[in-house]
Amino acid sequence: MGFYFPHTQDEIKEMLKEIGVSSIEDLFKSIPEELRLKRELKMDKGLAEPKVEAELERLAGANKTGKDILSFAGGGVYNHYVPRAVDYLLMRSEFTTAYTPYQPEASQGTLQAIFEYQSMITALTGMEVANASMYDGGESAAEAVLMATRITKKPQGPILLSQGLHPHYRRVIETYTKHIQFEKKTVPINAAGQLDLDALKKESAAVCLVVQHPNYFGCLEQMDEVGALCKEKGLALIVIVCEALSLAILEPPGSFGAAIVAGEAQSFGIRPSFGGPLLGFFASREEHVRKMPGRLVGETRDKDGRRGFVLTLATREQHIRRAKATSNICTNHSLMSLTASIYLSLLGKNGLAKLAAVNLERANYLRKKIEASKKLKLKFSAPVFNEMTVKLGTDAEKACAELAKQGMLAGVPLKHHFPELSDCILVAATEMTGKKEIDTLVEKLEAVAR
């Protein structure tokens, strides 16, 4: 049966002869006999292409997705429209089947695209340098914290994490920093849903402050005051952004003195994909560039003076610096950064701002409906971008399960990570949820709320 090998039996014989052995078996003689597998692998024989396709279609069909149901789920992964031109261009196998661009002369396509991506991320975040990509927002956040320990002179005290940080990101940060000396300390949010500035004021020495904006509960942070406080305290400010679309309408974190801006850029043309592959972005200040993790593409000239692009500042990286590298990252998420570049090129400056405005308005519409509702309440009063925490007054997990039976993904129940918010759900409104859908959501939420 046709596998993906082109060899004929005759060719195999001739090749063995050229090598000077009599069988394929002979090629494996360096593996001691007692280590050989003496049986077949316990798995099915290969299936013909149509059968494999049918089996994968069955598995895909056993999922219920935003395509089949009305979805208001966000919490770090958002349901946005992906222009067809994005999908079409991503089918170009010159991009998909290339390796990391180690040979720049044969990889200018990937390299120029990454350079453009880095430029777009700096523009969005208001920062000076951005890397070629990280795995996802969670890993990017963890790498940001590790970088903060490198850029802070004589770091001491705890790593301050806002309570409004995505709970998964917090877990990833904990995993990555379990073995370094710094403690993690939570700075609480206030009744409005924003970082408690009075609590922050009381902190003395710390390595850095990690604050998410908009935060996990959807609330916008008082970035000007947070930035000013960090500056006053000499604290490295790390701003995490889970909904990158918000950057089109919000003054960028770079304007508030962020040392590092990291987060998730899934909203730029990447489908929810059960959470991966997504796109971690990572931006910082030029003065810290040699302390950054990840690949960087830089502009240069060839020997004839023509502009070209190369991987650069590799002395930070594992293949040169080994145990002293700024990160162990090697393969990153290049194709996802290409996806974002294509998406951002298509929407452009005006399109992206308009889309962000549509999201803001839809969320505002939802907010007004909840404020007018007799049964539903907003948990927090702070302004939001496209997501908010809604109090149902009843077990939110059960309520969501009930609505799921009716074919609706109403949002993300918060009980699992925040037991004190067991009657709350996180609801996102995007350009995919019109007023009519929002009306339906509110109606159904009211029916299950108490």
Q: Using the rule CB under 8 A, which residue among 248, 262, 429, 448 binds another protein?
A: 248
Q: Using the rule CB under 8 A, which residue among 226, 237, 278, 396 binds another protein?
A: 278
Of the two residues 202 and 390, which places its CB atom closer to another protein in the complex?
390
Q: Does 41 bind another protein (CB under 8 A)?
A: yes
Q: Which residues in 19-38 contact another protein (CB under 8 A)? A: 19-21, 24, 27-32, 34-37
C-alpha to C-alpha distance for 405 and 428, rounded to whole angstroms: 20
Cβ within 8 Å of residue 38, ≥6 positions away = none
Q: How far is the CB of 63 from another protein (least distance, A)?
A: 4
Q: 157: burial class by Cβ within 10 Å (0-12, 13-18, 19+)?
A: middle
Of the two residues 308 and 393, which places its CB atom closer to another protein in the complex?
308
Half-sphere exposure in the Cβ direction for 52 (13 Å, CA): 7
Q: Which residues in 179-198 contact another protein (CB under 8 A)? A: 179-180
Q: Using the rule CB under 8 A, which residue among 157, 158, 308, 393 binds another protein?
A: 308
Of the two residues 156 and 300, which places its CB atom closer to another protein in the complex?
300
In order, the DSSP letters of 359-418 are HHHHHHHHHHHHHH-SS-EES--S-BSSEEEEE-SS-HHHHHHHHHHTTEE--EE-TTT-
Q: Does 259 bind another protein (CB under 8 A)?
A: no
Residue 137 CB neighbours (<10 A): 30
Q: Which residues in 152-181 contact another protein (CB under 8 A)? A: 166, 168-169, 171-172, 174-176, 178-180
Of the two residues 103 and 156, which places its CB atom closer to another protein in the complex?
103
- Select from 286, 279, 281, 235 the least CA-distant residue to 256: 235
The stretch among 45-53, 156-164, 191-199, 436-444 that binds another protein (CB under 8 A) is 45-53
In order, the DSSP letters of 314-350 are GGGSHHHHGGG-S----S--HHHHHHHHHHHHHHHHH
Size of site (CB under 8 A) for another protein: 206
Of the two residues 16 and 203, which places its CB atom closer to another protein in the complex?
16
Q: Which residues in 46-75 contact another protein (CB under 8 A)? A: 46-47, 49, 52-53, 55-67, 69, 71, 73, 75
Cβ within 8 Å of residue 52, ≥6 positions away = none
| Interface map 93-112 toward another protein (x if CB under 8 A) | xxxxxxxxxxxxxxxxxx-x
Q: Using the rule CB under 8 A, which residue among 163, 334, 389, 433 binds another protein?
A: 334
Which pair of tokens denotes residue 267? 């909203």
Q: Using the rule CB under 8 A, which residue among 191, 205, 401, 447 binds another protein?
A: 401
Of the two residues 231 and 416, which places its CB atom closer to another protein in the complex?
416
Q: Which residues in 288-307 contact another protein (CB under 8 A)? A: 289, 295-307
C-alpha to C-alpha distance for 325 and 316, rounded to whole angstroms: 5
β-strands 280-284, 236-241 pairing: unpaired
Q: Which residues in 225-244 contact another protein (CB under 8 A)? A: none
Q: How far is the CB of 218 from another protein (least distance, A)?
A: 12
- Select from 176, 139, 132 the least CA-distant residue to 312: 132
C-alpha to C-alpha distance for 314 and 296, rounded to whole angstroms: 8
Cβ within 8 Å of residue 367, ≥6 positions away = 378, 384, 388
CB of 183 within 8 A of CB of 159? yes
The stretch among 86-94, 183-191, 229-237, 370-378 that binds another protein (CB under 8 A) is 86-94
Q: Which residues in 198-227 contact another protein (CB under 8 A)? A: 220, 223-224
- Written as one letter, the residue type at 447 is A
Q: Using the rule CB under 8 A, which residue among 380, 415, 431, 433 binds another protein?
A: 431
List the end-to-end C-alpha distance of the chain, in Å, as a whole number: 62
Q: Using the rule CB under 8 A, which residue among 315, 371, 381, 447 binds another protein?
A: 315
| Interface map 109-148 toward another protein (x if CB under 8 A) | xx-xxxxx-xxx-xxx-x-xxx-xx-xxxxx------x--
The Cα-based distances of 223 to 161, 199, 228, 280, 416 in angstroms read: 15, 15, 8, 22, 28
Q: Does 404 bind another protein (CB under 8 A)?
A: yes
Of the two residues 156 and 315, which places its CB atom closer to another protein in the complex?
315
The stretch among 200-208, 338-346, 369-377, 439-447 that binds another protein (CB under 8 A) is 338-346
- Select from 226, 202, 203 the least CA-distant residue to 214: 226
